[in-house]
Amino acid sequence: MSGGRVRFGKPDWEAIAEEGLLCADMHFHTHYSDSFTTIPQAMKLAKKRRVGFAVTDHNMIGGVLEAYEHNKGGDQFIVPGIEISSWDGPHILVYFYTIDEMKEYWERCVKPNLSKAEWLAIDKGTEWILNSLEDVNCVISGAHPLGYFFSVKGVQKAINHRMLEPEIAKRFDAYEVVCSGMFRKENIGAREYADGHGIGYTGGTDGHMLSELGHVLTVSDAMDLDGFLDGIRKKTNVIVGREKYLPEKTIMALACCSRFCTVLPQSVIRKIELMTNSGTKNFR
């Protein structure tokens, strides 16, 4: 592929496939967290569009396990992933080299810290999560590092608001520099921050609706999952995609809200408990 490493515009799925490049939408949700999309639906569309995808449900790995069960023949490119929602705000995308490593980490570090609203914030903060990943064979990316809106669901936004120390950014392997839920200015800013920190790039739709799948892709001249993830660390990959138009953002927000409302009471109660607990430092 010619051009720079970050390219705004609709991906040419056919051309990417014909060049023999591996590609994946590295941020996609299913009904295992805050989406209504099923795994069979996502896999069918991904196959039609000739793209891979990372199942990155909030704190949950059931979608990844189901995808691998359906993909026993290995004919589709599925990246084992998870989006961990920290209690202090930032969302952290973690991609694993094997599904067994993902399962082991989730059982040991995520599952024991789930709240009653499982796919909302876990009972641990950003620093604790990064510490728990220190010796894990994985790639860590900061999801939508400057968003969303008034929240601090992005690590760079938390840094800018002095909620986290600037040095924490260097503990990430990459920032998500094209997220279709963001605006262009935020994505450009994310790329500039990634360059400033000397870390790599990932890109994904943060898709909560089936139709979004594949509209932002991380593309690499790699033969397999190992090479694909290594490309993020080595900064040899390319990100191509575009932001959603405002009507698309609105529809996605409404879909997410309808799922969020089902667990809102538990989420609010747990957040209050954590904020008022005299030992909140233990959750960081």
Task: Dig out the tokens for 206 from the structure.
Answer: 């943060």
pLDDT digits (tens, 9 = 90+) for 189-240: 999 999 999 999 999 999 999 999 999 999 999 999 999 999 999 999 999 9
Cα separation, 13 vs 196, whole angstroms = 31
pLDDT range class, residue 261, cuts 50, 70, 90: low
pLDDT digits (tens, 9 = 90+) for 123-146: 999 999 999 999 999 999 999 999
Buried b (16+ CB within 10 A) or exposed e, 143-174: bbbbbbeeebbbbbbbbbeeebeeebbebbbb
Task: Dig out the tokens for 170 from the structure.
Answer: 């260097």
pLDDT digits (tens, 9 = 90+) for 156-200: 999 999 999 999 999 999 999 999 999 999 999 999 999 999 999
Domains plus CATH for the chain?
6-277 (3.20.20.140)
Per DSSP, the three-state class of 26 is strand
Cis status of the peptide bond prior to 148, with omega within 30 of 0: yes
